[in-house]
Amino acid sequence: MRARFRGPPAWLIIDGSFKLAGLALWLAGWAAPAWCLAVAFAAVPWLVWQLLAPHGRLFGPVVTSFATDRREVWLTLDDGPDPATTPAVLDLLARHGARATFFLIGRNVARFPALARQIERAGHTVGNHTFHHRGLSFWCAGPNRIGREIDRWADAARAAGIVPPRWFRPPVGMKNPFLQAQLAPRHLALVLWNARGFDGTGQDARAAFARIAPQIRPGAILLAHEGGHNPASRLEFVTLLLEHLTREGYACILPSPEKFVRLG
């Protein structure tokens, strides 16, 4: 009896078709390299999930929470410093007795070094959020480019007179196959989050707060934003968040690395 040829699995045909399409776009010069790669890997959702999801650990260890038996959270604020929001955010934090970590964009540190110093003088810490914050292409950046983004941030921090950080957060939280190899020799830990309201996407502040509120629990790392294209909405979100945390008896602290819960 002759064996029947069944052909390749359907998923392999689909995946191969997307990869050929991405290669064709690149060879024809019809799209930027980042978009060619996006098309090539569009049929591999597990890989996309590893790039985007905070808990994805295929590319190395990631911190998304910390251990505590108290009503404590770690508030993190991305994208500053910005004169439109940073002073107001610092006032809000002082009013609520809260401490936070600001993941700063390096070019903003270079433009507003006094604001960066003000953050540290107020008792908060800072983290490396890359120099340029190129959210659309960081996921496909090579090791040399990643290293330059990290090191240019460090240069800006030194010029501003602020303490070199121990934490790193990529733009939009996108991980990268080459990222961990650049973080390890620089003694940086990849810190993401496990509670967010998507306030950084231009969403209404109250809608964003309604999303994050049910996710808040002891040991959570909260994601918020300042500055950017809609500073008023981002500032309103931080206000709503801090008022809620105060009402619910949560303290915003700076957890020690020993308490980090590392995935991967």
CA 151: distance to chain centroid?
Answer: 18
**Catalytic (active site) residue 133:** no
Instruction: Please give the Cα distance from 62 to 53 (Å, whole number).
Output: 11
Under a CB-based contact definition with an 8 Å cutoff, are residues 220 and 65 in contact? yes
Which positions ≥6 away from 184 have C-beta within 8 Å?
none
SS3 221: strand
Instruction: Please give the Cα distance from 197 to 211 (Å, whole number).
Output: 5
Q: Which amino acid is at 14?
A: I
**Catalytic (active site) residue 129:** no
Instruction: Please give the Cα distance from 7 to 170 (Å, whole number).
Output: 42
Residue with the two structure tokens 């909260």: 222
β pairing state of 167-168 and 251-252: unpaired
Instruction: Please give the Cα distance from 52 to 67 (Å, whole number).
Output: 24
Catalytic pick among 78, 79, 82, 199:
78
Instruction: Please give the Cα distance from 99 to 218 (Å, whole number).
Output: 15
Catalytic pick among 96, 129, 133, 225:
225
Q: What is the dihedral of CA 48, 102, 144, 44, to 10 degrees?
A: 0
The closest of 170, 219, 175, 212 to 56, measured between CA atoms, is 175
What are the residue numbers of the active site?
78, 225
